[in-house]
Amino acid sequence: MQKIVNESTQPNKLVFLHGWGMSSHIFHPVIEKMNSWADIVSADLPGYNDNAVAQSQSLSFEEYAGLTASQLPDNSVLIGWSLGGLVAQQIALAFPHKIRKLILLCSSPCFVETESWRGIKPAVLDSFKSQLKHDYQKLLDRFLAIQAMGSESARNDVKNLRELLRGTSAPSEATLAQGLEFLHSVDLRDQVGDIRQPTLRIYGSQDSLVPKKQGEQIEVYCPNSEKYLIPKASHAPFISHESLFIDKIMEFYSL
């Protein structure tokens, strides 16, 4: 996470955490447009891209979040997308001094579907684990397609995501397998009500990974958080609905 290690601990620093299989590069277009009003940095999760040297594969989820938190400036406004949002929630719970405000982008305290909870079907995650052992690139292409599914600009969204990832280092199989296990097993629903930082939850109405119905269910566990649903967006609204996304972040950041 070398990109964010510095002497500054300014209270208004805005930090982005990416999702599974991705890198901090995916946020570069929106960061370029937001730099005029915020001090912004993007972070690679342990095991990814610029932070690939981090020895994280044997860590528990709590330890993984702790390693991530140790490299964040204090009092950040933290934006966690997808898996990055799951990590961000654990940081908010265990290291509250690190986060002044929390923004969860297409994320959840529990990603896997159960009889009473909408989410990713366990069989889908199992198929990801199986395919990871044989063809990572094919799995990544499939995952990018799922992220954009339902968006009116799905084909263009996938193209943009793929271009933003071009030239970044592919995470190891162990790192990717670890992330899939976190998505499959971590359940913070009974804990997220203890998060005290102002929290904004952003969803896409067409997201198949974090369905909008789940956004309604999460309100039971996070009644004091704010929810914002972006119409016709899927799992990557910072790509498909850039202006709406930036406007909402600016509004919440400035409060």
134 is catalytic: no
- Which helix (H) or strand (E) element contains residue 121? none
- Rounded Cα distance between 59 and 63, Å, is 6
Maximum Cα–Cα distance across the chain: 47
Beta strands in 87-167 (DSSP E): 99-105
- Rounded Cα distance between 238 and 249, Å, is 10
- Rounded Cα distance between 8 and 81, Å, is 23
The answer for residues whose C-beta is within 8 angstroms of residue 130's C-beta and 6 or more apart is: none
- Rounded Cα distance between 208 and 15, Å, is 25
Catalytic residue among 18, 25, 235, 241: 235
8 is catalytic: no
50 is catalytic: no
Catalytic residue among 107, 151, 207, 234: 207
Catalytic residue among 24, 56, 82, 108: 82
- Rounded Cα distance between 198 and 116, Å, is 27
Task: Fill in the DSSP letter of residue 225.
Answer: S
- Catalytic residue numbers, as ranges: 82, 207, 235
